[in-house]
């Protein structure tokens, strides 16, 4: 029994195995491509949500105080509109944090710097202190670490 005999006897098995391998590789490639497309779509959705939230600040002049570094909250307490805006940003940040934990790529140093810059302001800090009790422990720890790293770097300077 030569090569022709073997091919005649096992040819169908070889063809079936080859077909299975091609199908498997095609499926793996499709899953990778779909995953990449989904990640890109998620990034665009997150960016769009970010833009929509921040556009409110520019559309509504009564929110301008949110970005002021120092506000006398004893004299002029946080308004309902300001609190809602900051809560929305905190929820957006939490969603991004959860997406990061599920594999979305972020520059952690840049996110921490954004948190420090924003929550260093009077109104956002006040709202964060009131609302953090409603957040999960991992997210609170992430935000607090981000804030603490700023405090540590200032002490070293």
* pLDDT digit string, tens, across residues 117-146: 999 999 999 999 999 999 999 999 999 999
How many CB atoms within 10 Å of residue 73? 13
Query: What is the spatial distance between Cα 118 and Cα 110, in angstroms, rounded to a whole number?
Result: 12
Query: What mean pLDDT value characterizes the chain?
Result: 85
Q: How far apart are CA 38 and CA 44, in angstroms?
A: 10
Tens digits of per-residue pLDDT, 44-59? 888 888 889 889 888 9
pTM: 0.71
Among 82, 91, 89, residue whose Cα is nearest residue 139? 91
Contact status, residue 148 vs residue 111, Cβ threshold 8 Å = no
Give the model confidence (pLDDT) of 6-37 as tens digits: 777 777 887 888 888 888 888 887 887 777 77
The owner of tokens 């956002």 is: 124
């Amino acid at each position: 029994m030569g090569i022709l005999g073997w091919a005649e006897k096992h040819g169908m098995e070889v063809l079936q195995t080859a077909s299975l391998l091609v199908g498997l590789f095609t499926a793996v490639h499709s899953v990778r491509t779909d995953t990449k497309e989904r990640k890109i779509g998620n990034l665009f959705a997150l960016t769009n949500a970010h833009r929509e939230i921040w556009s409110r600040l520019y559309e509504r002049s009564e929110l301008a105080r949110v970005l002021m570094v120092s506000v006398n909250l004893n004299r002029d307490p946080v308004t309902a509109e300001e609190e809602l805006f900051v809560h929305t940003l905190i929820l957006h940040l939490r969603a991004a944090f959860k997406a990061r934990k599920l594999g979305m790529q972020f520059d952690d140093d840049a996110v921490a710097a954004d948190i420090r810059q924003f929550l260093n302001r009077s109104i956002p800090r006040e709202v964060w202190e009131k609302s953090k009790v409603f957040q999960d422990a991992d997210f609170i720890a992430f935000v607090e670490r981000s804030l603490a790293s700023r405090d540590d770097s200032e002490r070293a300077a």
